[in-house]
A and B are shown apart, each in its own frame.
Chain A
Amino acid sequence: MPLQDILDRNVINLHVKGQNKDEVLRDMSRMLFEQEYIEDIDLFVKDIYLREAEGATGIGNNVSIPHGKCKAVKKIGIAIGRCEHEILWESSVEDDGWQQTRIIFLFCVSADDYGKEHLKLLAELAGKLGSSQVMAKLQKAESKDEIIQALLN
C-alpha cells in the first residue's frame, strides 16, 4: 500500500479555529467524526488525553502529534490541521517542556489490532516527521497539496 493511501484531503484542515489545545483537539476530532473515521468524539478525545498524560507529543518545529488507541475508531487514518492561533503544547524537545504549535497530526488508531497495513503507513508517515527536510517543507506548505507533497517526498 502506498503512503498516500493514508492521506485523506477530507481530514486536512488549514484553518483550525480553536484557541487552545482542547479546542483544536475537538475541532479536529469533529472532522474525523464527520468523515466517519470515529463514532464518538468524547470517547476519542478521552483516549487522546490518556496518551497525552504519558508524555509530551509536541515534537518541535511547531508540530504536535497527539495520538492514542480508541475503540470509537472505525477507520484508521490521520487528521492534519494547521491552526489559526499558536497553541501552547507540551513539548518533548524544548528545554522548558512547552512549545507553540501550529501544525497538528492527529493519529486515529483503533484499540484492536485490525488494519495492520494502515498502521504500517502511519508508522512510515511518523518516520517522515523525523526528517528535518520534511519538517522544513511542512513549515512552508500553504495548501493541502503542498502538505501532502511534503510528506510524500
Chain B
Amino acid sequence: MKFVGVTACTAGIAHTYIVAEKIREAAVAAGHECRIETQGTIGVQDKLTEEEIKAADCVIIAHDIAVGGMERFAGKRIVDVPVQTAMKNPKSLIATIEKKLSQE
C-alpha cells in the first residue's frame, strides 16, 4: 500500500522528526511505500505533493497541535492519532491500518 502522512508535535523540535522516521520505518518494514511531511518549528519539510496524496491509500496524521493544509486530504482515508500513539507502537499503528483497509 501507499501511505502519506504529516507529523507535528508541541515544541516542533524533536518528536515531530522522530515519529516521522518511526512511522516510515514501520511502514517500509511491512512492505509499504510511505512519505511523511514534517511540520515543526522550522516549518514544513518534505512537503507532500499532490500526486503523492492522490496515490495514497491512507493518510496518517500524528500530531499534538493543529496540522496545516488538512484540506489537501479531503475525501481520503485519514488515520488521526496523537504523536505518542505512533511513538509507542508504530508497528501496531501500521498493522491496524492494514486491517482496517482490508475490511473495506
Contact = CB atoms under 8 A, between A and B. Distances in A.
A123 B25 contact: no
Nearest to A131: B21
Contacts of B19: 130
A128 B24 CA distance: 12
A93 B87 contact: yes
B43 to A, nearest CB: 9
B17 A68 contact: no
B18 A69 contact: no
Interface residues of B, number: 25
Interface in A105-126: 107, 109, 116, 119-120, 122-124, 126
A131 to B, nearest CB: 6
Question: Looking at chain A, what size class is its interface with the partner chain?
Answer: 20 to 34
Nearest to B14: A126
Nearest to A130: B21
A95 B89 CA distance: 11
A129 B41 contact: no
Given A130-B17, A131-B25, A132-B25, A92 B88 contact: yes
A107 B87 CA distance: 19
B13 A127 contact: no
Interface of A: 51, 54-57, 59, 65, 67-69, 92-93, 107, 109, 116, 119-120, 122-124, 126-132
27 contacts: A54-B11, A55-B10, A55-B15, A55-B64, A57-B14, A59-B87, A92-B84, A92-B87, A93-B88, A93-B89, A107-B13, A119-B13, A119-B42, A120-B42, A122-B14, A123-B16, A123-B40, A123-B45, A126-B16, A126-B17, A126-B18, A127-B20, A129-B18, A130-B18, A130-B22, A130-B24, A131-B25
